[in-house]
Amino acid sequence: MKKPVARVAQLHELLHDHSHRYYVLDNPSISDAEYDDMFRELQSLEAQFPDLQTPDSPTQRVGAPPLDGFDSVQHAIPMLSLGNAFSQDELNEFDRRVRERLEREGDEVIYVAEPKLDGLAISLRYEHGVFVQGATRGDGRSGENVTENLRTIEMIPLKLRTASPPAVFEARGEVFMSHDAFKSLNASMQASGKPAFVNPRNAAAGSLRQLDSRKTAQRRLSINLYGLGEVIGMDLPPTQMDALHLLAAYGFPVNNDIQRCDGIEACFDFYQTMGQRRPELGYDIDGVVFKVDSISEQRELGFVSRAPRWAIAQKFPAEEAQTLIESVEFQVGRTGALTPVARLQPVFVGGVTVSNATLHNMDEIERKDIRVGDTVIVRRAGDVIPEVARVVKYKRKHGARKIKLPQHCPVCGNPVQIREGEVKARCTGGLRCAAQVREAIKHFASRRAMDIDGLGDKLVEQLADAELINSVADLYTLDVEAVKAMPRMGEISANNLIKAIDTSRRTTLARFLFGLGIRDIGESGAALLASHFGSLEAVMAADESALTSIDDIGPIAADSVQTFFANADNRAVVDALLAAGVEFPTTETMQVGTLLSGNTYVLTGTLTVFTRDQAKQKLQLLGAKVSGSVSGKTTAVFAGDSPGSKVTKAESLGVPVLDEAALLELIGPVE
């Protein structure tokens, strides 16, 4: 057996190496399970010998406590900005100036061509090979200290891959979000009723700005490095291409499409090729960057007003077009959010005809000073909804009208409200707003809520179109005849649906509360309310202090609960549901909050008798807390098959680890 010190060092080496192979080279050589085993071994050694836990340990990516704000960081060497070229002429002009200054009018300059990633510029600082600080570019002189957030990006090495690191090494690059990561992030934002990000760049910026690095860790950010900042204790590479190779050798991800181009013609070819390949890259680029390859030539050229004379960005033509705003309407979404949408004179932008464009919210309208009748620039970026980029002010006519937020919902007439600290206006109509009701019914019927088998989104739309359902309560008035009249509905499916609706009457208070679709109350919030209050009446009667006395229910969620039940329409729907026979078994309310209150459990691994969700619900019903992470406060960990690192953590903290049989004994089988 190796000494712990030696084994920890060896595990660092192995884990760094394998995570580099996996995330940077995209070429793993061991299985995830083997990786996890080593990771757990390291965690348990670190738990045994806390002195051996260092900031560059692979276990230290996530877990730093949330911050109150970001400190400002002075860049040792300013992060320069980039000049732009918008045409081939401007690019040729750049090349001419470079050759003139270098007194090389006769020959071609060697450039390096790089895709221009559409993200956020950042700097990563390593001291003696260890990652010590990460910062945003900010204004170029100083940015924000986002070290803990950057640390969670697996592509970033916590340690340089070299035996003899320089005293200081600063790498610079761009943090961005792939289209895949962006789509799945927005899907989950929308699923939990939060506004989606407008584009991957905003999503990347928002993710890097999280005060709680654990949130950043869930965001799947990417990074590419393209330059050096302060370097002390080693010779600088002689060319940009060498610098990129050095970055790659040190373990950093470097963009695959970077190319050396001899002369400006080759640069222009690169620009055109990248323009064509742009849709299939899987991430946004907004142009290409050309840099003089030779560092000594870069020095000779120097910079003017913070932009180097030796580099230029050639931007892709924006997919923009001019048109007229004919009117503005407010669309009502699932949570009642009102989104102003401009109806446009149809215009061709980036390959499609656009006749609607989002104005996002009232703040954006104000900021851009958009009015009805204005001539505007419409922008389309990738597969994002078209937006109004700006107003062509000199074309503004006398009659241009300011856009006013309606006081009442355009669909249901209930008052519109903007909550303090929020930008989105919302319809307060809740379950009685026709626009919200369809989404509400879909949510009510969904698997994790009332679990009505066979009632999919499409059928909800059809039933609502036929005006058979105007609220969730109407579901319980449906009969076979009515359902059978829907397109492609047979006798059997109709019968099955009615049966499924009938079955859903017997539910749990947690599912019912979740199914109501109260803002800010997700599945676990609903379970907490149910187990804490035990009855619907008690939840409806709860005041702010009663609600916020529950761990994990903050003032915003508490306000949402009160606002929901204060609405007479919502209360009428709840009454109608109860009158239709929706009920919660008494066993639930009797046991709640007593048997296991004060205990906190962690579930890990695959369970066989029930799913982890079922076990979690049951534990919560019995008054226990169920947490995602093991700490000294954990009562016990229940581990199913192939459990993760939580078991090691529990063992190192002396928290009991029990099996599924013990869990079954504690909470009984699922009914």
Catalytic, 116? Answer yes
Quickly count: other Cβ atoms within 10 Å of residue 19's Cβ.
20
Q: How many residues make contact with ligand D41 (CB under 6 A)?
A: 15
When asked if residue 121 is in the footprint of ligand D41 (CB under 6 A), the reply is yes
- Looking at the Cβ atoms of 272 and 587, the one nearer to ligand D41 is 272
Q: Contact with ligand D41 (CB under 6 A): which of 4, 83, 206, 308?
A: 308
User: Which residues from 212-271 bind ligand D41, rule CB under 6 A?
Assistant: 226-227
DSSP per residue over 350-365, as a string?
Answer: TTEEEEEEE--SHHHH
CB burial string 457-481: b at 16+ within 10 A, e below? eebbebbbeeebbebbbbbbebeee
List 9, 64, 67, 80, residue binding ligand D41 (CB under 6 A): 80
Least separation in angstroms between residue 341's CB and ligand D41 is 32
How far apart are the C-alpha atoms of 126 and 158, rounded to whole Å?
9
CB of 254 to ligand D41, least distance (A): 10
Contact stretch for ligand D41 (CB under 6 A) within 80-88, 429-437, 493-501, 638-646:
80-88
Residue type, 409: C
> Which of 116, 625, 646, 649 does the annotation list as catalytic?
116
SS3 119: coil
Q: Using CB under 6 A, which of 291, 360, 646, 649 touches ligand D41?
A: 291
CB of 172 to ligand D41, least distance (A): 7
- Contact between 174 and ligand D41 by CB under 6 A: the answer reads yes
**Cα distance between residue 66 and residue 68, in whole Å:** 7
Q: How far is the CB of 503 from ligand D41 (least distance, A)?
A: 55
Instruction: Rule CB under 6 A: say whether 114 interacts with ligand D41.
Output: yes
530 binds ligand D41 per the rule CB under 6 A: no
Q: Considering the complex, state which of residue 155 and residue 527 has its C-beta at the smaller distance from ligand D41.
A: 155
Q: Binding ligand D41 by CB under 6 A: which of 45, 82, 246, 376?
A: 82
The least CB distance from residue 116 to ligand D41, in Å, is 4
Cα–Cα separations (whole angstroms), residue 555 to 27, 205, 545, 550, 565: 47, 27, 9, 11, 16
78 touches ligand D41 (CB under 6 A):
no
Asked whether the beta carbons of 531 and 623 are under 8 A apart, the reply is: yes
Task: Note whether 485 and 515 are within 8 A (CB).
Answer: no
Residue 519 C-beta: closest distance to ligand D41, Å: 38
d(CA 524, CA 616): 9
CB of 287 to ligand D41, least distance (A): 8
Only one residue has tokens 């206006």, namely 425
State yes or no: residue 454 binds ligand D41 (CB under 6 A): no
Could you tell me if 143 and 75 are in contact, meaning their C-beta atoms sit under 8 angstroms apart? Answer: yes
- Compute how many other C-beta atoms are within 10 angstroms of the C-beta atom of residue 558: 21
Instruction: State the DSSP H helix or E strand holding residue 190, giving kind and residue range, or none if neither.
Output: helix 179-191
Binding ligand D41 by CB under 6 A: which of 44, 81, 591, 614? Answer: 81
Q: Which one of the spans 77-85, 398-406, 516-524, 610-618 is the region binding ligand D41 (CB under 6 A)?
A: 77-85
Within 10 A of 495 (CB to CB), how many other CB atoms are there?
13
Catalytic residues: 116
By the criterion CB under 6 A, which residues form the site for ligand D41? 80-82, 114, 116-117, 121, 137, 174, 226-227, 289, 291, 308, 311
